[in-house]
Structure 1
Amino acid sequence: MNGGRARALPMVIRDPALPDEVTIYEVGARDGLQNEAAVVPVEVKAEFLQRLARAGLKVVEATSFVHPRWVPQLADAADLLRTMVRVDGVDYPVLVPNERGLDRALAAGVRHIAIFASATETFAKRNLNRTLDEQFAMFAPVVERARMEGLRVRGYVSMCFGDPWEGAVAPAQVAAVGRRLVEMGCDQLSLGDTIGTGTPAHVDAVLDACAADGVRIRQIAVHFHDTYGQALANTLTALRRGVTTVDASAGGLGGCPYAESATGNLATEDLVWMLDGMGIRHGVDLDALVATSTWMAAQLGRPSPSNVVRALAHS
């Protein structure tokens, strides 16, 4: 704070058409750090996770068991899970790409996993070395085993709103992929705007298609990138449709290592500011979260791209 002034707060105006409470699914430690040019030390990652949890986030995606050759920034996944200090009441999901990744997750005591599917043929081939249909054969045994072990399973669907190689993606195609993941046993679908090209009307169209294909709104989470400044507008559209889980990344960290046009995720602080202004409960201490993102930005050697972090860190 400067000169003893209280920090700015949004005016709270409650819209009864919006959810009373939203779960923020924090992805900064995995989706955020996987795109860094340099490998972040495991002790820094562990402290980051602890700070995020202490700030009140109840779902903090910890890491990924993808092969180190593909994402070297997360090669320390087992070490991180072994050394990190868990906060009571906080869920720490882990991304797994295949059965070998599931084996490693089970050995580490993980209770919540995520798989990462594609809504498009080209990205499935580039990211998974599978066709759009073949990816389901790869995921089916992972989901089946995970459910038998009592794990919760999230299904990410990437390129839901646009693909850098294929262009526009038909909402019905997104819905078909999502339906197959739900039928396979995924508890939740995270619909990803991987390159950030979606707009509010497009979000409505994708949610309409999902509903028409039998995917319930309560099963859907949204994962928006802010490449073209649309992430908050798209999130608000999803909230108005009844979505109550929103993916976000502390400080706006992240992108996608397989899609160069995928810039930062929706910043968790920007999301929290909007939710606060609408009187929607989320459980996060914004000041603690801003301090965490400011600290992490210093570890990475660059300022946070989050508008709220920039505003509050210098207020």
Structure 2
Amino acid sequence: MHFKSIFNFWAHHHGLRLTVLVIVLVWGGVWGLRYHHDSVAKTSARLTTQPVDTPRITTQQRHLRKRLQYYLNHETADGTTSISFYNLSPKPGSPAAKTSLTRRFYHQGDLATSANAHTPVVSASTYKLFMAAYVLHLHRQGNLTWTPTSTTGFEEMIVHSDNTFAENILDAYGLAGINTFIGDQNWYAPVFVSGQASQTTAYSLTLALKDLARQTGPFKSAKDRQWLLHLMSQQVYRTGIPAGAAAAKQGTTVADKVGWYADTNNDAGLVTLPNGQRYILVIMTHGHMQSGFSGFPRIAKITTHIQKMVYNKSATAKLAS
């Protein structure tokens, strides 16, 4: 059939031409939809199956812990620094908690790493975390009543690190009894020895913060726990862990307790990222001619490095590919 004949045929069969056109369009649409559906299904399957691949997750966790341990060993090599890192599970209901990969990879404690964390060092005012626990315990036992004076004293002890309330409690209840309470929590004891600066370990502060984060031990009261966390988030000395965490990720929040005494600068905090990831970090430093708050910028720098190493997307990139 010649080209002119074909043209005349279609010119005289307008209805047939429309029918064929519709069939072609429908077939093309069905094929395209099926192709898109298959592509989405394959992509979805890849994303949902790989994050639950336990051996791959375990291997990547081990690699990350090894890198983190190397860094902590380097920072604590001269014996003047103690560091304890403990990853908490993502905050319930947060974006991080809703993602299979992050739930598995950041399962509580799986990335915990420390260096020089069991060595007793001067606690400075981080001991007030233990005092807070003891005071809340006294209240629950009916041995301490909240008055305007005691409430203000407790708040000042945390927010401005004022010594008055803590020292009054130590005088009233005695060093031995308070040390016994601290030891009963499986925290380092004795913290208090007459005539000496109070001592603790980075690991012990981590244990106390774990109890606070998990509402266990002396922090079983939800109301007391929230009050203490609120005060810690409002404490005014924020050039250490809070500054470092915010530098690593804008919007990160920190509830912490600092301490400084002579050449000692310490910080112990609970950190929450904008996506709901959470971790505990304790950094205790001394020496190097530190005075006042001069050691806190280094604490901030260490915090930034740790947070980026553990929580930047690169930490799980190989698992998501």
**Same fold at TM > 0.5:** no
* TM-score, length-scaled by structure 1: 0.30
**Looking at CA atoms only, which structure, 1 or 2, has the larger radius of gyration?**
2
Considering fraction of residues, name the structure with more helix.
Answer: 2
* TM-score, length-scaled by structure 2: 0.30
